[in-house]
Every structure is written in C-alpha cells, then in structure tokens.
Structure 1
C-alpha cells in the first residue's frame, strides 16, 4: 500500500511539473491503448470463429468456380478485411495526435516562461526553470506515448494483413 501511495505521489508531481496538458496526453494515450487492446482481442478471440464460419460457408457451396461465386468470395473477404481494419485509422490518428498534444504543452510552457520574464525579468532562473520544465515534459510524454503506439500499431497491421491473406488462401477458387 505504501508503494502505491509513493507511486501516486510521483505521478502527481510529474503532472504538476509538466502542466495540465499532461492530462490531455494521458487521455489520448488511454483511448489509444483501449482501442489497440480491443483490436488484439478481436483478432485473437472473435475473428477466428468468424473466419471458420466464412470458410465453412465457402466449402459448403456447390459452385466455387463461376463468376458469381468469385464475387461472393471477394465480398466475404472484403467484409472480413473491413472488420479487421476497423478502428485502425482512429488508432493511427491518435498515435499522430500524441506528439501534437505534447507540442501544445511546449507552447503553453513557453508562454509561462515569457509571462514570468515579463513580470520579474530574467534575474530569477528558478522561476524560469519551472516554465521550461512545463515546456519540455509534455513534449517528451507525447513522444513516448506516440512511440508506444507506433510499435503496437505496426504489429497490429501485420496481424491484419496476415489474417486477410490466410482467409483468402483458405478459400480456393478453381
């Protein structure tokens, strides 16, 4: 319990040093990770049953060689591809937004530095340092958040591509 309190205090101090923009970075990061976990869940748990049903429906068809059958096959593969790719563009957008929100923190931190300089002049480095911290910490947080999303998104895209190719290869057309 004591360790959790210390962890919470260090997070609170980090946010106080970095400014309120870190709440926005945290919110974007949370939404991004919820969507990425949902995609992993769909690919690992829900998609296999859907894939097996599509393959079973294809194998149950008597006609798999006509133009009409090929169009049905293409439609089923397309529907599966659409379901596999759903929310991927939102995830990619959130990954791209993370550094932008961090840069917003840079701007607000620099504004704080300039306000301090306007009020007390350049003679108080401690006051200026707090504004500079407020400028750099959100940028770093936004970049770290984006990097975590980039790696997971590339893995998810690879899994989606592999699943689509596997489905298409499992439904031979003669």
Structure 2
C-alpha cells in the first residue's frame, strides 16, 4: 500500500510539473487502453466462439454452391468483420489526439513563460525554466502515449486481419 501511495505522489508531482493538461492526456490514454484491452479480450475469448458458430451454420447448410448461398456466406463474413473492427477507429482517434493534447500543454506552458517574462522580466531564469518544463512535459507525455497506442493498434489490426482471413478460409465455397 505504501508503494502505491509513493507511486501516486510521483504521478502527482509529474502532473504538477507538466500542468493540468496532463490530466487530459491521462484520460485519453486510459480510454485508449481500456478500448485496446477490450478488443484483445474480444479476439481471444468471444470471437473464437462466434467464428465456430458461423462455421457450424455454414457446414449445416445443404446448399453451399448457389449464388444465394454465397451471398449468405458474404453476409456472415461481413457481420463478423464489423464486430472485429468495432471501436478500432475510436482507438486510432485516441492515438491521434494524444500528441495534440500534448501540444495544447506546450502552448499553455509557453503562455505561462511569457507571463512570467512580462511580470518579472528575463532576469529570473529559475521561473522561466519551470514554465519551459511545463511546456515540454505535456508534449513528451502525449507523444509517449501515442507511441504506445500506435504499436498495439498496429498489432491489433494485424490480428483482426488474420482472424477475418482465417474465417474466410474456414468457409469453403465450392
């Protein structure tokens, strides 16, 4: 428990150094990771049952060669693809928005630096340094958040493509 409290203190100090914009970066990152975990969970536990159900329905059909049967097959593949691709666009949006939120932090940090310079002049480098730190930390945080999401989103898309291709291969059309 003490470790968690120390960890929270470190996070709070980091957010204090980077400004309140880091709370928004953290919220976008949390949403992105919840969606990523849900999608990987879907691929690992829900989709295999759905795929087997589609395969069983296809194999139970007496007609698998007519034009009508091929349209049914295509519809089932399309429904599965829709479920596989659900929320991927939202995940990609979170990935894209993280650096933009970081840039917002940069702008607010630079405004703080200019305010300090207007009030104190350029003679106090310590105050200017805190403002510059406040300007760079959100940018770095947004980039790190986006990079982590980009890596796992690419892996997720590859797994979704493999799953769809595997379903297509499992439904032979004669």
The bucket for the TM-score relative to the shorter chain is: over 0.9
Aligned length: 174
Match of 1:151 in 2: 151
Match of 2:139 in 1: 139
- d(CA) in 2 for partners of 1:148 and 1:157? 14
Match of 1:76 in 2: 76
- d(CA) in 2 for partners of 1:64 and 1:153? 36
Shift in Å, 1:112: 0.2
- d(CA) in 2 for partners of 1:5 and 1:91? 30
- d(CA) in 1 for partners of 2:56 and 2:11? 52
Question: Any stretches of 5+ residues in structure 2 without a counterpart?
Answer: none
1:32 paired to 2:21 = no
Write out per-residue CA displacement over residues 102-121 of structure 1, whole angstroms, 9 at most, x where no aligned residue.
00000000000000000010
After TM superposition, the score normalised by the length of structure 1 is: 0.99
Matches within 5 A, 1:6-85: 6-85=6-85
Match of 1:107 in 2: 107
- d(CA) in 2 for partners of 1:129 and 1:10? 20
- d(CA) in 2 for partners of 1:11 and 1:91? 24
Secondary structure in 1 aligned to 2:37?
Answer: helix
Shift in Å, 1:4: 2.2
Shift in Å, 1:2: 2.8
After TM superposition, the score normalised by the length of structure 2 is: 0.99
Secondary structure in 1 aligned to 2:99?
Answer: helix
Match of 1:88 in 2: 88
Shift in Å, 1:7: 1.4
Question: Any stretches of 5+ residues in structure 1 without a counterpart?
Answer: none
